[in-house]
Every structure is written in C-alpha cells, then in structure tokens.
Amino acid sequence: MTVGIISKIHPVRSHSNAAQGGINAALNPDDSWESHAFDTVKGSDYLGDQNAIEIMCREAPDEILHLEHLGVTFHRNDQGLLGTRAFGGASAARTYYVADITGQAILHVLYEQMLKYSDQIDRYEEWFTVDITTDDDGRCSGAIMRNIRDGSLEVFKAKTVILATGGSGQIYKPTTNALVCTADGQAMAYRAGASLMDMEMIQYHPTTLLGNGLLITEGARGEGAHLYNALGERFMEKDAPNKMELASRDVVSRAEQTEINEGRGFPDGSVHLDVTVVPKKRIHEALREIVMVGRDFAGIDITKEPIPVKPGQHYIMGGVKTDVDGQTDIPGLYAAGEVACVSVHGGNRLGANSLLDTLIFGKRSGVHAAGVAKQRNMPDVPATRLDQVRDEIDERINRAPGTGRRVSEVKAELGAIMDAKVAVYRDEAGLQEALEVVRRLKEEAKTATIDDKGTVFNQDVLGSIELGYMTDIAETIVLGAIERKESRGAQFRTDYPERNDEEWLKHIDIKLVDGEPKIEYSPVTITQWQPQARTY
C-alpha cells in the first residue's frame, strides 16, 4: 500500500498556520474530559453530536503528548511541564500553545515527520485537485489532478481518499481565511454526491483587524486583554457578566456588532481590543505574532495602543457530513478538519478546538481508510473521465476575453453579498436577496473569462475552477440559513431571535440530487447533556 499527500500549495503554506492561540485538551490532573466536552457542547449551542465530542475530548490529552513527543515546542510552566492559557467558552485553562504560532508549530513539526518518513509517503506538492471520481458502484475511486508546474493532468487511482482541504472563507470578503480557502473539498464531495451538513453555521471571529480582516488571536483575550466601546465601557458586562471577553465567539461577535450597529462603536466602525493591560514581557513572549501584525499591517504598537477590531468571517462549522471515522456518504471517501462536519462544533466552535478536531479526526480517518484500503482492490478510473476534465479545462482557457465577466469581479461580488447578508445578523429578506445574487453568480462563474493561456503555473485557470467551487458552496450556506428558522450558535435570525429546540434541534443536510440541492434533516446525537439555556 502506498500513501500520497497531494496539496495545491506546499504543505507548510497551509492555512493551519493561521491557528494562533492553541489547542484544547483536558490534560491537567484537576481537569476532566467531561468538562471539556460539556464546554464544547454548550459552545455548539447543543447542535454538536455528543458522541463525536466525547471521542474528541477523550482522545485530546494523548494527542497533545504525541505532538509534544514529535517535537512541538509547547509552552512550559516554571516546573518545565506543559503550561496552559485561558480561552473563550472554557471552564478551565486547558489551551496548550506555542506563543501565538501554535498552528504553524504543529504544521511544521508534522511536515518534519513527513520528511522523516519520506520513503513511505509520496508528496505531490503544488498539484491541484480538479475532480473526485467514483466508480459504477458509487464508491470513491480516486481523483484527477493538475500538476500546477506544467499543467499536465493525471488520474490518481485510490482505494480510499481523505479530504483535508480546509475551509471556505474566501466565499466572504473580508475573511481571516487565506486565499487558498476556496471550498475545494466541500464542493468536490458535494458534486460527487456526498451530503453537506450545518452549512449555515459560519463563525465570525470577534477580533479581526479593521480594514483587512486579519486575525487577532483569542489568545490576546486569554492573556487578559479587554474590549471597549467608544464610551469606554467594557460592554461584555452586559451579555456575559461571568466570562466577559472570554464568552463563546458567537456571543462576543454579536455583542460587538450590536455596539457598532447601535452607535456605540468608534467612528471607523470598530470596537477596541486593549492588549496594553497585559505585561509587556508576556506580550513579547506569548503574543509576538500580533505585535508584528499590529506593527506591519496597522501601524500600531499594541503594547501601547488599543487595536481597532470588528467581527469577521473566520470558520465554517458545517462541511462534508462524516461519521466519527471520517467516512462520508460516499464509500471510500473521507473528510477531516474544517472541510468536514462530524459534527463536533455544531452551531459555534470554541477557540482552540479546530486544531484538535483536525488532528483527532484526521488520525481516525487515516486509520480507518488504511484498514479499508487493505481489503480493497485498486479501482479503475476510465480514461474518458480524464478526457472530459481536460476538455472542460481547455474550454475555460480558450473562452474569448470579454465574452463573460472576469473571475475577480464575480468573486468580489460574492464576497460582498455574503458579508452583507449572511453574516452575524440575518433575516429572511436579506437571505433571499443573497440567494438570488449567489445563483446569478453561480451561472456567471460558468462563463467567466481568464487571461492566462499558458500551462506553467496558470493560476488564472485554477482561480476560475475555485470560483465554481465557491459559488456552489455559497448557495448551500444561504439555503441552510434560510431553512433554519431559529437562532442558534452562529445563526442569528432577527426574524426568529430565539432558539427553538422543539423544531430545530436537528442538523440540516444538503445534497445534490439531479443537479439540484435537496434539503434533508438528521438528528443530533445527545448522550449525557440535555439542552439548557446558554449563558456566559
């Protein structure tokens, strides 16, 4: 059996880098996985599946130790043991971290391990996935890839395929997500017939830099930073008197948006994050990255001045529906991480649970997929499929300029409408308007034109394929938001402002049937925590 890792960018460029603050685990003797699980359930506004959450929180401590043994340079306390910081929505300080580059440190260490075992793993760096293939029995049979360096197309036959393609933030503008987060995996799985789940659940992070939307880690608030409105009030007192700035992200983002909407924000449309209350040495040691972000991107010395922030698109809780072993609806196709929806995050993900989700379910997917692969013969992908994909790409490249809109124009309009109407506060009229625009853009994406006619690093044609991925997935996000007629987690409907467990304590699944999105429901798994009112 051979394993290949295929990535459209060099793996160390991946967006896991952006996970700054840390990774949660109940590893301290006075903490418990049950406490971590309950916080996660509550954070999810009871939409998370509790069987999956239990698995994640139980396996978390061993995963941290495994990473530590591989070489992740986790922060130590005075005794030289793993130290923690506080994070939002958590009842104990259980976030393990490397300064504010935790994701980068983990990603790089895992890449080191890949280099160590390079005789057992084939790396295809800068290969773009164009299509997931299935055989006549509906099983996943592999994928079709474009080598970005020379434009050649190849079929990768595979007994099992794991999607680890990350999120879809580029559907929004602004977003904290990198330019590569273009919904590739979600769209390809959806097109291949897999169900998507909870797509309406889009997380707005409370502290993104005004202007360009760069992420300011929740670790800043974990280290003690405060949020102020223009009147100098710590407004979180109103919505979360106990947890204050460290309430769940949906709660903090809504509070900020309310301040801004009701005229208590600063004239530039921001609220202020004040890090100056954190001791300077600690800032340099633990929040080094945002010192640089402030300096390089906002011209601010965060050790001396507050940072203007606002809520900004950050994460998609929804994704390709999987079981606790990463299996999707399509046999042989797996998904793990932000691309997937197990669901452990439900309506709202807790900070420092995303790296954990990725690692735990990535590992479980790998183990399961390897077991299945051992019992399966290599499937075949007919050559006609490759020809089809090649023709389709050639057609994109050969479209005469001026016959359609530019890819960049369609993408910009998509980002704007999503951020305007499918954001922190939503209502029926706005969502219907968004649906109309997104459906038009979906058609326009099919005829959008590009300039680059070449084969070597034709990023233009890849951008056009990504645009198709994004418009498909944007439609499912809007459909989910229209369907869910209640307010839960990140979905806040001003026309349905209450959580409605009686009718809506269920997942919304969307799958493609005869080329049209079809909505179904699936139950939420509850093991030991019955829904309660959610306060912080």
- If the CB atoms of residues 98 and 435 are measured against other proteins, the closer one turns out to be 98
Return the DSSP state at 88. Answer: T
- Provide the minimum distance between the beta carbon of 485 and other proteins in the complex, in angstroms, as a whole number: 36
Instruction: Show Cβ contacts of residue 74 under 8 Å, excluding neighbours closer than 6 positions.
Output: 64, 67, 68, 82, 83, 96, 97, 98, 105
Specify the 3-state DSSP secondary structure of 319.
strand
- Residue 297 DSSP code: I
Q: How far apart are CA 275 and CA 301, in angstroms?
A: 10
Q: Of 76 and 238, which CB lies nearer to other proteins in the complex structure?
A: 76
Q: Least distance from C-beta 359 to other proteins, angstroms?
A: 16
Q: How far is the CB of 297 from other proteins (least distance, A)?
A: 7
Q: Which one, 293 or 490, has the nearer CB to other proteins?
A: 293
Q: Which two tokens stand for residue 102?
A: 């935790």
8 Å CB contact between 19 and 87: no
Q: Specify the long-range contacts of residues 267-272, CB closer than 8 Å, at least 24 apart.
A: 267/230, 268/210, 268/308, 269/210, 269/310, 270/210, 270/308, 270/309, 270/310, 271/227, 271/228, 271/229, 271/230, 271/235, 271/308, 271/309, 271/310, 272/227, 272/228, 272/229, 272/306, 272/307, 272/308, 272/309
Calpha distance 270→210 (Å, rounded): 7
For other proteins, which is the closer residue by CB, 374 or 453? 453
Query: Do 382 and 155 meet the contact criterion of CB atoms below 8 Å apart?
Result: no
Q: How far is 429 from 420, CA to CA, in rounded Å?
A: 12
In the bound state with other proteins, the residue whose beta carbon lies nearer, of 94 and 368, is 94
Instruction: Determine the residue type at 47.
Output: L
Beta carbon of residue 211, minimum distance to other proteins (angstroms, whole number) = 8
* Catalytically annotated residues: 249
Q: Which is nearer to other proteins, 35 or 303 (CB)?
A: 303
Q: CB of 79: closest distance to other proteins in angstroms? A: 7
Q: How far is the CB of 294 from other proteins (least distance, A)?
A: 12
